[in-house]
Structures are given as C-alpha cells and as structure tokens.
Structure 1
Amino acid sequence: MTTDLIYSDASELAELIRNREVSSVEVVQAHLDRIEATNPKINAVVTLADGALESAKAADAAVAAGVEAGPLHGVPFTAKDSFDTAGVLTQRGSPIFAGRVPDTDATSVARMKHAGGILLAKTNLPEFSYSTESDNLLTGRTNNPWNLNRTPGGSSGGESAAIAAGMSPLGLGSDLAISVRGPAAHTGIVALKATHGRIPMTGVWPRVPRRDWHVGPMARTIRDLALAYSVLSGPDGADGFATVPRAFDTGLGTSPDRPVRVGWLVDSGLGPIDPQVAATVRSAAEALKGTGVQVEEVSIPALERDNPLDLFNRQHVMEVKPAFRDVTVGHEDQMAKVSTSMLAGPDTSVESYVLAEQGIERLRDAFTEYFQRYDALLLPVLPIPAHEHGLAQFTINGQTVDATHIQTATIPFNLTGLPALSMRFGTSSDGLPIGVQLAVNWHAESTLLHIASLLESLSPVRDQHPTL
C-alpha cells in the first residue's frame, strides 16, 4: 500500500482522498516515511514543513464533513528552497540566508495550498539557484536517485530527485535557463516551463531580473502538470509580468480540427548531441507520426546564427550582478564558487549588451515564423544523460565542450519566453533516463499539454522508478 501511495500521482491521490479510499494522513505519512528512508542517500529534502500531519488530519475531517474539496485536497507537495514559505525555513542555498523564515508564502505556494495541497518539505538547490548542479555550502549536494554518483541537475535538482524517488508527488521549481526541464530529464520526471509571466514569480528569489525567470510545476505525469498549471497560472496583482488572464490560451485544445503539425530537430544550432539522446528524439517523432500527427525534420537557422547561451551570458549575467552584489557584500567568505566567479567576471560592454538584445529579438522573430507553420517543436532537453558530479567539461561525439553546454537546448525558450516541457522517452545504455523537450507558441499551453499527453501514452518507459 505504501509503495502504491508514494508512486501514485497527485491526481490519483486527490481522487482517493476525496472518495475516502485512503486518508490524507496515510498519504502524508507514507511520504514522510519515504523521506526518512531515502533522503540520507539523496539529500533532496533540506527542511520538513511543520504541521503537515495536522493539516492532513484537518483535510480528512473536511472530507468527512462533506466540505467541497479543492483539486489538490489533502495531497502533499514540495517546493524548491527559493520559494518563500510562511513559517518554514527558506534559505536559498546559501549560508548568507541561513535561518531565514519568511512571514508570507510565495504566490505559487499560496495557490497550491488554496487548492488543498499540503506543504511537506523544501528541496535543495545551488546557491541562489545559479548552477546546473544542486550543491551549495549550506545544505550540501543532491544525488540522482537513479545513480548516486550522477547529478540530478539544477537548479531545481532537489525537487526533481525528491519526486523521482517517491518523496513527493508534485513540486514547485523555478527555471532560468534549464532549471526545471533539465533536472526533470536527468531524473525521468516531467516539468513545465509555461509562457513567461503565466505563473507569477512573487515570493521567489531572486526577484530581479525576472525577464528570463519562470515558476514551473514538476511531477511524474502530464496530467499532474496540467492540474498544477490550472492552479498556478494567472495574474496576482504583484508581478508586473503576470498580466494575461488565466483562461487565455492560443492553443488548439485537446480536439484540434486539423492534424497537429510537429517539427523535430537534433542538431540545428544545438552543438554536439549524444547519439542515444538523438535516437530518443527520433523515436519520439516516429511514435507521434504513427498517431496521425504530421511530423517532419526541421531546422531553425536563427539558432545557428545566434548562439543562445552566448546571448544569455551577455544579457542576463550582466543584469543579475547588481542584485548579487547587494546581498553578498560583506559576506564574500560565505559565497560558493559559481557566485564568486559570476561577480568576478568582466562586465558586458554596452555595445555587446545591445547586440545580445538584438540577437534575442531575432530568435523571437524566428520562432514566430516557425509557429506559423508548426504547432510544436520536438528536440532534446539535454545533450547527454545525467553526468557525474562536478564536471567542468563534457566530451560528446569526440568533441569537448564546456559544462555550460548542457543548457544549449533549453535556454532559447527562456530568452524568448516560449512555453516548453520536458518528459522522459528513453533510457541510456547505463540505465539513466533520457528526456525529450516540446515547445509551442506563446500562450499555447493547451497544445503543449495535449501533445505531451499523447506522447506519454506512447512512451516505452512509463511507470519506471529508480530502485533505492
């Protein structure tokens, strides 16, 4: 029974609790027991939220009394430790913020609670969320539950590892360049980065600059992403980027009146890709083709002309430096290497910054043109499966690249604000998950979730979990 509960998705757990087939107390306790049993090896959870069992008892009493239940009534969830949680430690992966306890919840946390969710725990991250590995000087390093010698990614790596290992059915991550989709691919779960501004960033640090930052749900099933997105999206009156009404959607919906059109690529501007990753993308394309979806290989020349990672480094890194300096002054001895290196790096010249902005505009134009012809783009999430901890370089197909190359396929959708989703569709020769990425037009989340759900039904690796 416990195994069934920890690997049931949030949608099923909510239904079981509503129908009184299982209690919220049983569900919460099963996940607390799982954390106790597996977290010492993985170090995904950094703080347990006080009162989870008491909240579960209240949820069960409400069901017994016939109170109308929210869509997540009695279901536990977790949140990356960059999300403010009222009365619960939020330390942002840094000794500088050790012991910090916010008075209020981030908008996304408050919305999960309003839907009936119960905050169970906070999860690990790199310092300030600025690394592709979840390791910091305060709460240490998170390991991948599929292989403890491999990374679960970053910056939402603690969240991805917790969900993959059955410590949580559903969680909140944030995504700057890779940070929900990459960790999801590393650990074999699913994650959504919706259109920029669809989910408010209020109460998530760093608050500035927010132009590339996104809040994103992470889960084990596409229907859970859809459920969480329905709970999380919409303006909150505080985030100036979150202005589009919740109901607005430009997608096809679940019953398009014409065949869905999907283009796929594995090499157009993405640099070297592991052959197993490329083969997984091709397999996903073939699977979609067998369902009547129109599928063809494509190229996007703008990705070859303007390196998105280079554009990001010249734009965002320059913009974040003032915020980093404000919080780290006088605490230089408490900073991790990534933050120290970022601040020590040369500033972007005004000319280079402007040229980067123009390159980003060209990317937006290119995707605008692409989505006039196609409903979705299918491509890799990562160039390689989960790698060993602490690598500074990767060798892929005989070509050596810097470790930041891991972000090449995800970062274009942060720079442009396009919605994108990561899901597993394969397995490497050494038993690690391999994911694929889907991207769609702005505000077309219904199309994204529809295609992802279809692909999930065709997946050769459904319902596979790590052995711990």
Structure 2
Amino acid sequence: MNDVRFLPASELARLIKDRKVRALDALEIQLEHIRLHNPRFNALVTIDEQNARVRAREADAALEAGEDWGPLHGVAVTLKDTFETAGLRTTSGTASFAEHVPERDAPAVERLRSAGAIILGKSNTAALADGAQTANRVFGRTGNPWDPERTPGGSSGGSAAAVAAGFSALDIGSDIAGSIRMPAHFCGVYGLKPTGGRIPIQGHIASEHAVALPDELLWMLLVPCAGPIARSVEDLALALRVMADPLSSALTRRRETPSGPPRIAWTDSLPGVPVSEDTRRLIGRAAERLADAGFTVDRAETPGIDIAEAWELAGEVIGYLNTRFQPALVRTFRLLASRGASALARRQGLLRGLVRGPGLSRAKLRALADRREALIRQIDTFLGDWDSWIGPVYPTAAFTHRDRRASIEVAGRSINQDLAEISCNVVFNTSGHPAVVLPAGVGNEGLPIGFQMIGRRWEDEELLELATRVDGLVRGYEPPPDIATGRSH
C-alpha cells in the first residue's frame, strides 16, 4: 500500500473509493503519525479524534452500501483555526475566542463536508490571522517541518506545516497579503489564492469585533481570500471545485486552448526588494526548464504595471482594511500615526500606503476603487500577451523564529519580515488576480523554495491547468527528510 501519510488528497480519495484503503485505517495511520510528530512542530492545535473516527466508519459503511459522498469521500482534512466549525473550537489564536465553539460551519467548511471530507481538526495560525510567522498566546509557536527552529510562515503556517508533514491531506488557509502563499513556499507545498470572491470567506474570524464597511468600499471584502494548501496541483483544483461559490461560476471564463506553446513571463525579483541567491537560482532554473520543454519564456521584471503606484495603492487598502479589524485602542493609535504619514513621503511606497491607509479621507477612500480598476487594467493588458507571470513568493527560504519586529537579512540588506511578505504578494490581493504557489526545489540550506504563478482574473481553472504542466517540469512536493524517515526528536 502507498504511504497514505504523504499522498495527495485526490489520490487517497481514489484509493478509498476503490476499496484499496479503508477510510478508518487511513485515519488511524494519520492519527498515529500526528501523535508521533506533531508535538515537535505544533502544527495542529485542536484534533477531533472521536468524531473523525465515527465519520470514517460511516464513510466505509457508505461505500459498502454503494454510496458515494463526493470527491473527498473519507479523506481527513484540517482547517486553519480561523474558520468556524460547528461544535469544534475555533480560536483564531486569540484569548477572546479561546473557548469559542461555533454553532455552524463556515460555508467553505460546509462544502468540504458535503464533498465527503472528514474534518479532523484545526491548524495553528498567527493571532487573528495577522503576521509573517505563526505564533499566538493560546497555542504558542509552530515550527517548520523541514527545521523546527524555523518558521513555517504566516498566517496560515499551521496549515502548510500540517500538509507538508503528513498530518493532513488538505488544509484550508486564508490570504490577505500572502498568508497562503508564503507558508506554502516555506514548507514546500502547493497553495492557491483564488480570484477574490471565488471561495466564500464568510465564517472566517480575523477580528475581535464585527467589521462593517461603507457601501462604496464593499469591494474590499474581495481582498481577503480563502484557499487550499495541498500536496498537488490536482488537489488545489479539486478543492476549488468543491468550495467555489456557485454564483462565481457566472463570472468564470473558459477559453479555448490557444494554439502554440504556453507563454510564460517571469522574474526572480521585484524592484527594490532584495532576494536570496537560492531564490534567483531556483526560479531561473524553472524558467530554463520551461524553455527547454518548448514553452515561450521571457523575462519581465514586473507584470506590466506601475509597481510604485501598485504598492502604494495596495498599502493604503490593507492599511485601511486591517485597521478596521483591530480593537478600538489599536484603531485610534493607527489613525493618529497616519497623520504623520507625510514624514514618510520619501520612503518606500508600500510602507507609505500602509501608514496612510487608516487615515484616508472619504474622498480618497472612494478614489481607491478607480485606482484599483486602473491596476486591474494594467495587469489584464499584460496577461493578454502571456498565459502567466512567474515570480518570487518571499525573498528567502524559511527564516529562524524571532521577534515580529526583528528584520531578516537578504543579500546583505535588512528588511522588515512582514513587509517582505507583503511586497511580493499584496498587489494581487488588491487586484483580485489568482495566484498558485509551486515548489521549485531545495536551496543550499536544505530548505524548500517555491514560486508563484499569476493568472487572469476569473480564470483560476486555466491557471491550475497550466500549473499542472509547469509542475511536471520542476521538483514538486517531497516529504521533509526527518519526517519521511520516521525520526521523532
């Protein structure tokens, strides 16, 4: 039998449906693996063993009776501890919700259950889904399965760590500025930030209070996204089919497959953002392999956009939106700080936007929508000539645990760890374009490095189809060495 601990969810589902593996047996192997290794990494923080076993027995009995629950029949999955789960604690990593047991599932969770998935438990998160590392006062810190002294990234770090380590066949994370993509990159797995609005984000807790926006700013609710973290592109596509809002299908566009080879633009860096030599080397090697395989490949430093304006716009959107999520005292502090934003006028546009965002006037807030449409047009125009744009997810591989205020060192420069994440990712949250992360290989420090592929809005399926072709030419998922050999420390 294949090692079910590290199989993609889609392959495990096929084995269960073909009666080659019992759902209960697969679950027991998974639970034993979690008991052996999870204490070292703290990826899963709530595990519902009893109900998972009941559901696994029911899944096996259903197959005996000729019933098929759906594409995830009998597969045990986990969820970022920000998504509400009926009868199962959901804390969002904060004391305010430490004992919160929701009465109903978030829509994305409900759809997973309807597809036959078994909800095994919850994966750790940065408090209120905010941060480039995964640590909180409720459950503590999560370590990277490739090296527990390093972070798995944030804020969906527990999700990526659980999938990479074989604790979960599939996990659902969230992403407002890279929180699915960075952890996938750090842990050597796959992640999808879909087009804004494809997968419902309702039932996701990222604030201690209800957040209301003026009607003219409701489009900002499309900036944060729910999306899958998995061990294959096929699993990302499966999860998208299962969780996508049916209404979003009216907006999706299925083109005829264009004649000729796929057209890929790529870069290994962004203006003003330092990247490691390993990052440059592995992304460059991926581009070479695509070219050798007959793809049309060309280097492009930015996807046809005014990057300075895009960063400033994205910074203002996230600065405003994230402030609305905060408690009253924090909101007041950020509003006061924004009044001194003029002192940053000569500094980097993204940081300037983040500081300005909380204090923007109503007129400037309304103008954000027009600026966003201009950004969308720029990216759409660029992607009219290319099928995808490949670029970095983060400047380095996973860094060691440190205070959130501490910088990271990249190519002889110091850079804020959160700003490094946002710089590579937030523009595409603001514009709504989908992005998929693929593992590129392992760097000289023995740590995985990935890259992201940006696609056209509402063409997530086409992006994933292309990603499948690209994935066959790069390294792909492999279990972390210590875990694969069964070593527990």
Say whether the fold is shared (TM-score over 0.5): yes
**Counterpart for residue 298 of structure 2:** 296
Structure 1 stretch displaced more, 340-349 or 397-406: 340-349
Q: Find the partner of 1:278 among 277, 280, 295.
A: 280
**Counterpart for residue 415 of structure 1:** 430
Q: Find the partner of 2:408 among 372, 391, 394.
A: 394
**Counterpart for residue 238 of structure 1:** none
Instruction: Write the deviation string for residues 167-224 of structure 1: whole angstroms up to 9, x where unpaired.
Output: 0010111111001111000000001011110111121123746231101011011111
Contact 1:150–1:389 under 8 Å retained in 2: yes
Structure 1 stretch displaced more, 284-293 or 148-157: 284-293
Query: C-alpha displacement at 1:408, in angstroms?
Result: 1.4
Whole-angstrom CA distance in 1 between matches of 2:275 and 2:230: 26
Whole-angstrom CA distance in 1 between matches of 2:480 and 2:7: 11
Contact 1:262–1:376 under 8 Å retained in 2: yes
**Counterpart for residue 240 of structure 1:** none
Counterparts in 2 of 1:342 and 1:313: CA distance versus 1, 3 Å: farther
> Aligned partner of 2:248: which letter?
V
Counterparts in 2 of 1:344 and 1:276: CA distance versus 1, 3 Å: farther
Instruction: Write the deviation string for residues 131-182 of structure 1: whole angstroms up to 9, x where unpaired.
Output: 1111111111100010111100011000100110000010111111001111
Counterparts in 2 of 1:132 and 1:344: CA distance versus 1, 3 Å: farther
Counterparts in 2 of 1:393 and 1:352: CA distance versus 1, 3 Å: farther
Whole-angstrom CA distance in 2 between matches of 1:272 and 1:348: 30
SS at match of 2:457: coil
2:464 is aligned with 1:449:
yes
2:256 is aligned with 1:244:
no
Contact 1:261–1:374 under 8 Å retained in 2: yes
> Aligned partner of 1:221: which letter?
S
Q: Find the partner of 2:244 among 229, 233, 253.
A: 233
SS at match of 1:276: helix
RMSD: 2.3
> Aligned partner of 2:317: which letter?
Q
SS at match of 2:437: strand
Contact 2:264–2:297 under 8 Å retained in 1: yes
2:199 is aligned with 1:194:
no
Instruction: Write the deviation string for residues 393-424 of structure 1: whole angstroms up to 9, x where unpaired.
Output: 12222222222222211111101010000110
2:443 is aligned with 1:428:
yes
> Aligned partner of 2:415: which letter?
V
2:393 is aligned with 1:381:
yes
Counterparts in 2 of 1:57 and 1:435: CA distance versus 1, 3 Å: same
> Aligned partner of 1:393: which letter?
S
Query: C-alpha displacement at 1:352, in angstroms?
Result: 6.4
SS at match of 2:390: strand
For residues 305-324 of structure 1, the aligned pairs below 5 Å read: 305-306=308-309, 308=311, 310-324=312-326
SS at match of 2:438: strand
Q: What stretches of structure 2 of length at least 5 have no aligned partner? A: 212-219, 339-357, 484-489
Whole-angstrom CA distance in 2 between matches of 1:99 and 1:433: 35
Q: Find the partner of 2:224 among 213, 216, 219.
A: 213
Whole-angstrom CA distance in 2 between matches of 1:9 and 1:270: 37
Instruction: Write the deviation string for residues 253-272 of structure 1: whole angstroms up to 9, x where unpaired.
Output: 7x543322111112343611
Query: C-alpha displacement at 1:450, in angstroms?
Result: 1.6
Contact 1:189–1:219 under 8 Å retained in 2: yes
Contact 2:166–2:479 under 8 Å retained in 1: no
**Counterpart for residue 159 of structure 1:** 159
Contact 1:420–1:437 under 8 Å retained in 2: yes
Contact 2:125–2:156 under 8 Å retained in 1: yes
Contact 1:85–1:102 under 8 Å retained in 2: yes
**Counterpart for residue 32 of structure 1:** 31
Counterparts in 2 of 1:371 and 1:164: CA distance versus 1, 3 Å: same
Contact 1:268–1:303 under 8 Å retained in 2: no
Contact 2:81–2:123 under 8 Å retained in 1: yes
Whole-angstrom CA distance in 2 between matches of 1:134 and 1:378: 26
SS at match of 1:245: helix
User: Percent of aligned positions with the same letter in both sequences?
Assistant: 33
> Aligned partner of 2:31: which letter?
L
TM-score, normalised by the number of residues in structure 2? 0.86
**Counterpart for residue 181 of structure 2:** 181
Counterparts in 2 of 1:270 and 1:416: CA distance versus 1, 3 Å: farther
**Counterpart for residue 336 of structure 1:** none
Whole-angstrom CA distance in 2 between matches of 1:34 and 1:397: 38
Structure 1 stretch displaced more, 22-31 or 350-359: 350-359
SS at match of 1:149: coil
SS at match of 2:279: helix
Query: C-alpha displacement at 1:252, in angstroms?
Result: 4.4
**Counterpart for residue 71 of structure 1:** 71
**Counterpart for residue 7 of structure 2:** 8
Q: Find the partner of 2:360 among 317, 327, 349.
A: 349
Whole-angstrom CA distance in 1 between matches of 2:379 and 2:288: 23
Q: How many residues align?
A: 447
Query: C-alpha displacement at 1:94, in angstroms?
Result: 0.1
**Counterpart for residue 363 of structure 1:** 375
Whole-angstrom CA distance in 2 between matches of 1:341 and 1:134: 24
Structure 1 stretch displaced more, 381-390 or 181-190: 381-390
Query: C-alpha displacement at 1:29, in angstroms?
Result: 1.2
Contact 2:165–2:479 under 8 Å retained in 1: no
Contact 1:165–1:466 under 8 Å retained in 2: no
Structure 1 stretch displaced more, 158-167 or 269-278: 269-278
Contact 1:270–1:303 under 8 Å retained in 2: no
Query: C-alpha displacement at 1:343, in angstroms?
Result: 7.8
Counterparts in 2 of 1:416 and 1:99: CA distance versus 1, 3 Å: same
Whole-angstrom CA distance in 1 between matches of 2:407 and 2:364: 26
Query: C-alpha displacement at 1:359, in angstroms?
Result: 4.8
For residues 115-130 of structure 1, the aligned pairs below 5 Å read: 115-130=115-130
Q: Find the partner of 1:438 among 430, 443, 453.
A: 453
Counterparts in 2 of 1:343 and 1:268: CA distance versus 1, 3 Å: same
Instruction: Write the deviation string for residues 372-400 of structure 1: whole angstroms up to 9, x where unpaired.
Output: 11111011111111011125212222222
Query: C-alpha displacement at 1:324, in angstroms?
Result: 2.2
Contact 1:269–1:307 under 8 Å retained in 2: no
Contact 2:388–2:455 under 8 Å retained in 1: yes
> Aligned partner of 1:226: which letter?
A
Contact 2:145–2:480 under 8 Å retained in 1: no
Contact 2:77–2:118 under 8 Å retained in 1: yes
Query: C-alpha displacement at 1:353, in angstroms?
Result: 4.9
